[in-house]
A = this chain, B = another copy of it.
Amino acid sequence: MTRVCPAPPDTEGQTPVGLFAGKHVLAELEGVDETVLDNADLLRQVLAEVLTQAGATVREVIAHSFEPQGVTVLAMLAESHASVHTYPEIGAAFVDVFTCGDKAKPELAVELLSGALGSGSFTMSTVDRGHGAADTRS
């Protein structure tokens, strides 16, 4: 398996990605139907789809269902990883999308996920990680 970052040295016309750097989006979804948030198969499928639509390369997705409710989904990406932790009892979920390079758009992945799950609202902040990146944007 080839990792997206560091990129080949011939990448042109983009922000250099051969760096120890990435964008980590931390998000919270609210107002989601509780049956959606307790459906591990649906969440796996939707997360993989929105990540792909947002330009990421999904390598593996695992999910666990908890008792009495709640699901965690982790996605291994060529660009890094994504996660969803759901709380059906309050219609909420924590979401992470961490990517390197310019191809994957982590904020778009969160927006698509929020739409696909029918959330009433979501908040997100982006942390620029690694060399030369220390700011947090909301």
On chain B, the residues within 8 Å of A59 by CB distance are 64
Interface flags for A35-76 (1: CB within 8 Å of B; 0: not) read 000000000000000000000000110101111001010101
Complex A-B: 21 CB contacts under 8 Å: A3-B66, A6-B87, A20-B28, A20-B90, A20-B94, A24-B26, A24-B96, A26-B129, A28-B129, A28-B130, A60-B62, A62-B62, A64-B76, A72-B76, A74-B81, A80-B83, A80-B85, A81-B85, A92-B130, A94-B129, A127-B127
Number of copies: 2
| Contact with A70, one of B3, B62, B66, B96 (Cβ below 8 angstroms) | B3
Q: Are A65 and B28 in contact (CB under 8 A)?
A: no
Q: Does A121 interact with chain B (Cβ within 8 Å)?
A: no
